[in-house]
Structure 1
């Protein structure tokens, strides 16, 4: 079944409000979650309400936490997320980075004491929409990535997002990726849809592939020892790169800003202790280096050359990073956002426990 995005937004707002989140925080959180679903990143949109409810129940999540700038040095700043959901804190971090980039040519802002912030690409797109280049990384709460030559997961799926504005008539170039083969929550999406996982996503404690999405949920969400392989798999060059990128993302979005490292935090974390996830937001103004029109002319030429490459399948044009999401957004704006019955049932139950009406409307 497909549902209208305004009704999904209204449902998210009503649940977050019932949980105690102030309106100005629910508005930005719901916007980010709905935009994520519109772009086809079903792992990070309304389906995250299940995890957020669990975090709230444990006492880890301070739902009314008000993010604020606690350090401010010229082109850099640090935002304290006040142990709330990551969306408002990360959005504030990128807004501050954008303001600083306009003033200094570059803005680099860290976020600490945060939680899950949705899709990293949303925040990179904030920069490109402002005519700036955006770079986003984050630490994670999960321990899912199996390092090269290791037999157990240690790192998370630490995401990296990058967005570059192009000239008139061209969409921005947007990269939004997990540093593992897939994000852990994508396994959840397959489970909700009762689909078999592609081989190579998840491995068990012996390094063997797991394709049953029900079984994989136990490995990904830590009922069993196993994990998700780095990008390309641990025995390929891509695996080494994914592992290295994950470590880089954690250093920028975790170590540098003062966020926790899950394998260390888990040794002493009490059930109601916040996860202290960190994020890193950078905005760069191309005008600090050259005339903006020269920059966009050159990037547009790059885009045109890539689009002009001979396709392997004439029926499928060559795409740039970010274009599949833009195409999906247009489709879902017109036809609605699909949700499996299992997720619909979860949302209905969460709304009931929150004491609010079920508001999803089919297209």
Structure 2
């Protein structure tokens, strides 16, 4: 079951919750935008679910610094490194994205990295933000030192899901926005299946014997691991694995943040927290490459041509990353954001803890 909440009401509620958790009004508004973007576009695990399950609790207990002093570590015409001071990754990455956009307008391409940060929510938000400014963008994050999946063929969880997103403007329709993890699925979806008491599809998890596993509990019990995008080595798992390494190289050593595969992990194998996370945003201005007036039209034609192809199944038209999410967003704006009952209950509990008023629509799950 789901409940629906008007977008603006959810945004106001998320902003108030983040303020009550210690953020300034400006930072709370920026963080709420990222949260609501995820919900509006159908990525609830990275939206209100994370608000109630990750951001507010960690802001309140100090694991995330509610009053960070964002510091510039290095700054050049086409790049910068920011120290997030253990603050909310949503806020520091919005600032990094805007800085990369500004620099790209001057130099054509820019890269801004963030260190000493935390969970940054939906990667697609930052890529989409750049497309709204008419730029192409790539955004990515590692999971700090936290190990979520072992290297391909390995047994020790060393790498994160290491999500990345890419976006390109295409006026006249939905922009191209690819939002993906390097693993077959984000671990939040495995947690959601566990919470709902259902099995996960074959291919999400593999047991210690290399056989497929569908019980989500096996992942959290350490009896199965999430697979890399592509699956096994025979079916292309090296591609997802390689992407995860690339993200850790850029968001770890390049950004100056932590990363997963360190020698101490092999020595003691202890679970490590997802702190000192690194993010990277790359922005590209088509105008700097002589395509300022033509890129958008070309992108629109390319995407529309793909979508016009005759589908194998008439019930499943050909589409592209960003288009289905745009349709979900349109429905959210028209009818309200759809939130699963368990997320609605989390929000009600959070509101009670913060002593703030929850949207009236959430009350339906308590009846």
TM-score (norm 2): 0.89
Q: Secondary structure at the match of 2:93?
A: helix
**Residue 347 of structure 2: aligned partner:** 347
Distance 1:117 1:197 in 2: 25
Compared CA separation, residues 199 and 207, structure 1 to 2 (3 A): same
The equivalent of 1:356 in structure 2 is: 356
State the Cα distance separating 1:57 from its structure 2 match.
5.7
Q: Aligned residue for 1:333? A: 333
Alpha-carbon shift at residue 107 of structure 1 (Å): 1.3
| Distance in 2 between residues matched to 1:341 and 1:172, nearest whole Å | 31
- In the TM superposition, residue 305 of structure 1 has moved relative to its aligned partner by 2.4
Aligned length: 357
Which of the numbers 244, 248, 252 marks the counterpart of 2:246? 248
On the 8 A contact 1:105/1:288 being kept in 2, the answer is: yes
Aligned partners of 1:158 and 1:230: how far apart in 2? Answer: 11
Q: Secondary structure at the match of 2:183?
A: coil
Separation in structure 2 between the aligned mates of residue 280 and residue 82 of structure 1, nearest angstrom: 16
Question: Is the 8 Å Cα contact of residues 119 and 277 (structure 2) preserved in structure 1?
Answer: yes
Whether 1:101 aligns to 2:104 is yes
8 Å contact 1:36–1:42 — kept in the other structure? yes
- Shift in CA distance, 152/109, structure 1 to aligned 2, threshold 3 Å: same
For 1:157, the equivalent position in structure 2 comes to: 161
Correspondent of 1:84 among 84, 87, 99: 87
2:195 is aligned with 1:197: no
> Over residues 93-128 of structure 1, what are the superposed CA-to-partner deviations in whole Å (9 max), with x where a residue is unaligned?
010000001111111100111100001111011111
Q: Say which SS state the counterpart of residue 275 (structure 2) adopts.
A: coil
- Displacement of 1:263 in angstroms is 4.9
CA distance in 2, matches of 1:353, 1:265: 41
Q: How far has the Cα of 1:292 moved from its partner?
A: 1.9
Superposed CA offset, 1:226-269 (max 9, x none): 4211002123343110000011011112220111013549869x
Aligned with 1:23 (options 6, 22, 25): 25
Q: CA deviation at 1:360?
A: 4.9
Q: Secondary structure at the match of 2:320?
A: coil
After the TM superposition, which residues 1-363 of structure 1 pair with which residues of structure 2 at under 5 Å, given as runs?
A: 1-4=2-5, 5-48=7-50, 49-56=52-59, 59-141=62-144, 142-166=146-170, 168-213=171-216, 215-216=217-218, 219-220=219-220, 223-224=221-222, 226-264=224-262, 275-361=275-361
- CA distance in 2 between counterparts of 1:39 and 1:186 reads 16
Contact 1:192 1:340 in 2 (8 A): no
Contact 1:135 1:163 in 2 (8 A): yes
Aligned partners of 2:225, 2:288: CA distance in 1, in Å?
43
Name the TM-score, length of structure 1 as normaliser: 0.90
Contact between 1:120 and 1:159, CA under 8 Å: does it hold in 2? Answer: yes
CA contact (8 A) 1:94 1:281 kept: yes
Provide the rounded CA distance (Å) in 1 between the counterparts of 2:263 and 2:292.
44
In the alignment, structure 1 segments of 5+ residues that lack a partner are none
Residue 359 of structure 1 and its aligned partner are, at CA, apart by 2.8
Runs of at least 5 residues in structure 2 that lack an aligned partner in the other structure: none
